[in-house]
Amino acid sequence: MADAAAAATPEWATKEPCLMGIDEAGRGPVLGPMVYGCMYCARSYNDTLATLKFTDSKTLKEEQREELFESLKVNSSIGWEVDVICPKDLSAKMLKRSKVNLNEISHNSAMGLVRKVLDMGVLLAEVYIDTVGDPEKYQIKLTEKFPGIKFVVAKKADSLYPVVSGASIVAKVTRDRALRNWVFNETALNMHMKTGSGYPGDPDTKQWLEDHKHPIFGFPTLVRFSWGTCTPFFKDAVEVTWESDEVDEDATNNGRAKRQVKLSSLGFTGFKRKTEEIESSGKGRCKFFQARKLELVRKFQ
């Protein structure tokens, strides 16, 4: 994405103590990426920053956000970065065996931006963040991770601190452009981007999901298929079973057995994991593999 990467580290950022704001865009929608953005400047520039009309991006029209984003991009006293988390990655983390919830994904993204800016050589002294979850616990978590930095974690930080307002504009415009320029990997006919707001309660979004579901392959990669919104669309989905490539070390068959699992049981359509994992070395193994005496081979002699 053309705007996903900012310029090189400004010289002033390596010489003066800096403050940074962090905010996200697209946490709630069932469609598109979640984007975390940060904006930083020298501490001495903070008073000037307050005059630049940055405010919570949700209160601005799209044209205003675009204009402000372009202005901060050419402002030599400001630096910025983004972390774009695609729908596929969000769902994969939330549905894997060791699940990562959305709050933890958000925390990791924010901490990743702090680490990235530090690695760039920025003299980061203060960081202001719009909270996710309990503000006090989040602040403690950040302080323990980065003990040399002062963290301020607050609700509605994007409307309280101009540096967070700027980060909110960076995140929101980056997400909007990602959606506007989205290119489908899928090749089905009649696909379109008339998605509505992307939020679960939007009738246009629900209609888009209905129009773009597939009984076997699910949704296009634009969709966060781990969202509960997706579940009702696949009540009549085709059940798919495949031979697992993983070896279950805890199985009873000499300590090793493969597993056979159903696609829906892994949460592809939003259903909870079922307990129908079957030892494929015995009765449960797919007849196709049994009849042909086929085994998974990892090493060749």
Q: pTM for the complete prediction? A: 0.79
Question: How far lies 253's CA from each of 112, 222, 277, 291, in Å?
Answer: 43, 41, 14, 20
The mean of the pLDDT values for the chain is 84
pLDDT: is 276 or 264 the higher one? 264
Over range 263-272, report the average pLDDT: 44
pLDDT of residue 56: 77
Whether the pLDDT of residue 271 is over 50: the answer is no
Could you identify the residue written with the tokens 């901490």?
111
83 annotated to bind ligand = no
**pLDDT digit string, tens, across residues 136-164:** 999 999 999 999 999 999 999 999 999 99
Residue 301 — very low, low, confident or very high, per pLDDT cuts 50/70/90? Answer: low
Least confident of 88-92, 112-116, 255-259, 275-279: 275-279
119 annotated to bind ligand = no
Q: Which phi and psi (to 5°) does residue 20 adopt?
A: -140, 145
**pLDDT digit string, tens, across residues 208-251:** 999 999 888 889 999 998 998 888 888 878 877 766 555 555 54
Q: What is the CA radius of gyration of the chain?
A: 23
Q: What is the DSSP string of 5-65?
A: S--SPPGGGGTS-EEEEEEEE-SS-SBS-EEEEEEEEEGGGHHHHTTS----GGGS-HHHH
pLDDT of residue 245: 53
Whether the pLDDT of residue 287 is over 60: the answer is yes
Whether the pLDDT of residue 269 is over 80: the answer is no
- 186 touches 221 (CB < 8 A): yes
Whether the pLDDT of residue 299 is over 80: the answer is no
Whether the pLDDT of residue 268 is over 50: the answer is no
pLDDT of residue 223: 95
24 annotated to bind ligand = yes
